[in-house]
Amino acid sequence: MNKVGFVTGATRGIGKQIAITLAKEGYDIVINYREENEQLQETKKEIENLNVKCLAVQGDISRYEDCENMVKKVIEKFGKIDVLVNNAGITKDMLLLRMKEEDFRKVIDVNLIGTFNMCKNVTSYMMKERNGRIINISSVVGISGNSGQANYAASKAGVIGFTKSLAKELASRNILVNAVAPGFIQTDMTNVLKDETKEEIRKTIPLRREGKAEEVANVVKFLASEDSSYITGQVIQVDGGMLM
């Protein structure tokens, strides 16, 4: 029986690459999406072409009931979840002076509460199995802070504190919980930045380039695998040396 990996926000960007990388390792894959579109169908097809099962589940992770329903569907189909990757996330950048309360709240709702909603619903099944891996996608900004990203940085710092707490709570049940903190990765999220801004950011990276989604996915693959069986409560930076 294949292991089952559940990736939120998996139709594009880093999430899609994580789903494909785990599929290549032989996992059956659950991809979460918000709206049915071509990207979803393409991702599903790419995964199925790797000869594993792929279940797509619709849901907004910031809504508790959506997470509950998605997890129920996965358990009905596969009977278990071995690896949960909380990847879905958003930004709504603005200096504090002009940041609307709703934009602060929305980012916390998706990035932090969404991670809670998923973990809360998945861990009971992992606890029964006395086995599981949870990998939360944070950000280097959650460690360093960033001007114009007070909402995002707070949400990602929250994810780190949440990860460490869960790691302590769940270790006795053989559930390992870690976070990955990407730096500047080439996806739709960073493509919105102006070329000059991208160039400025590149100058702060010792490796002098953006990271690729695959480079984040490979670390997730490691944290999901038996090779990381003695690692829990850690934050692994994938940032080309951006933050040391």
- CA contacts within 13 A on the Cβ side of 86: 34
Q: How far is the CB of 102 from ligand NAP (least distance, A)?
A: 15
The end-to-end CA distance of the chain, in Å, is 41
Please confirm, yes or no, whether 152 is among the known catalytic residues.
yes
Q: Which residues pair with 122 in a beta bridge?
A: none
Q: Which residues bind ligand NAP (CB under 6 A)?
A: 8-9, 11-15, 32, 34-35, 60-62, 87-90, 110, 114, 137, 139, 182, 184-185, 187-190
Catalytic site residue from 27, 64, 125, 152: 152
Cβ closest to ligand NAP, residue 108 vs residue 189: 189
Instruction: Between 188 and 196, name the residue whose CB sits nearer to ligand NAP.
Output: 188
Residue (15 or 158) nearer to ligand NAP, CB: 15
Q: Report CA 167 to chain centroid distance, whole Å.
A: 16
- Give the nearest distance from C-beta 5 to ligand NAP in angstroms: 16
Q: How far is the CB of 128 from ligand NAP (least distance, A)?
A: 26
Residues designated catalytic: 152
